[in-house]
Amino acid sequence: MIEARRLHILRAVADHRTVTAAAAALYLTPSAVSQQLAALEQETGHRLVERGAKGVRLTPAGEILLSHTNAVLAQLERAEAELAAYGSGEAGTVTVASFATGIALVVAPALARLAASAPGIRLRVQDAEGDASLPMVLDRQVDVAVAVEYRGAPSADDPRLTHVPLYAEPFDAVVPVAHRLADAAEVPLAELAKDTWIGPYPGNPCHDVVVLACESAGFQPRLEHSSDDFRAVVSLAAADAGVALVPRSALLGTDLTGVVVRPVDGIAPTRRVFAAVRRGAEEHPLIRQVLEALGEAARV
C-alpha cells in the first residue's frame, strides 16, 4: 500500500529538484526525505529518483507515479473538503499569501467582508510575491495564493492547482516631469529604448511584464535601479533617475510629485491577477467562502 504522505514528498522533490530544498519546504530533514523516498521505492518496486551533480530528477517510473500523485492528492483535498462540509464548516483559519498591492486591493477588502458575513473564518495574511506564494500553496504552507501570471508560472490547467481569475490591470509609464515625453498624451515604449530604467528585481512577476513589454517594442530595458516597492520606484523617477512601468493600482495613494503618469501607446502591458489553491481544496467550505470574498472584492 502506497502512503499518501510519501506521495506528497515525491511531488515536493519533483517541484524543488533537490532533496535539501524539498526538505526545507516540508519542514523535514534531508535524511527524513531520503528515507521516505527509499520507502516509497520499496513500496512500488521501482527506482523513482536519480541523484546527480545538479540535483534530483525523476526516473520514467517516478514520472508515471507523479502523474497519479497529482490526481490522488487532489482527491484527498476533496475528501477533506467534504468532511469539513459534513461538519459545521463555519469556523477555522485560512492562510492567504499575496503580493502587497493585491493585499490592499482584494485581500483586505475580502477580510472585511468575511468579518461581516462569516465571522467564524479567521483570515491570516502573508506578504509574498507570486513566484513565492504558489510554491507555498503546493507545499501546504498557505491555503490560498493571490498571484500574478508570469513567465514560468504554473499554467491554468496545471493538475496541482485550481486557478480563479480575479482582475487584470494595465501598466502606466512613469517619467520625470522634465522628461522629453512628459507632455505626450500616451507614451510609445519604443521611444524609451535609450532611457535608464527603474524596475522590480528579476524573479518578481512584474519584472517579467516590464521586460516582455520592452522586448515587444524592440529593445531590452537598461535596468539600472531595482526595487520591488513601487513607491520607491516612483520616488527614483521623481529624482530623475530613470523611467518605469508601474501597475495602475500600485499608483493609488502614491506621492506623484515630480513625475508624470501616462498610459502606454498601443496595447498596454498588463498584469493578470488570480487566486490559486491546491486542486480539490476549492470545495472546502472555508476556502470556498474566501475565494468568493476575493472575487467580490475584485469585481468592486
Q: 61, 83, 105 — which closes off a domain?
A: 83
**CATH number for the domain including 259?**
3.40.190.10
Same domain? For 69 and 138 the reply is no
Q: Residue ranges of the chain with pLDDT lower than 50? A: none
Instruction: Tell me: do 276 and 155 sit in the same domain.
Output: yes
What per-residue confidence (pLDDT) applies to 70? Answer: 87
Same structural domain, 141 and 194 = no
Asked whether residue 262 falls in the same domain as residue 288, the answer is no
Per-residue cell: 141: 504552507
Q: What is the pTM of this model?
A: 0.71
How many structural domains comprise the chain? Answer: 3
> pLDDT at position 300, please?
84
Alpha helices in the chain (DSSP H): 4-16, 19-26, 30-44, 60-86, 100-102, 108-117, 130-138, 205-216, 230-238, 285-299
- Do 255 and 172 lie in one domain? The reply is yes
The pLDDT of residue 174:
97
Cell numbers representing residue 178 in the block: 522634465
- Residue 113 CA to residue 7 CA, distance in Å, equals 37
pLDDT at 86: 58
pLDDT of residue 87: 67
User: What pLDDT sits at residue 51?
Assistant: 85
User: Is 179 found in the same domain as 137?
Assistant: no
pLDDT at residue 76 in the model: 87
Q: Which pLDDT belongs to residue 59?
A: 92
pLDDT number for residue 89: 60
Rounded distance between C-alpha atoms, residue 66 and residue 69, angstroms: 5
Domain range for 191 is 168-270
The verdict on 140 and 194 lying in the same domain is: no
Angle between helices 285-299 and 60-86 (to 10 degrees): 90
pLDDT digits (tens, 9 = 90+) for 55-93: 888 999 989 999 898 888 888 888 888 777 656 667 788
Question: What is the pLDDT, as a whole number, of residue 253?
Answer: 87
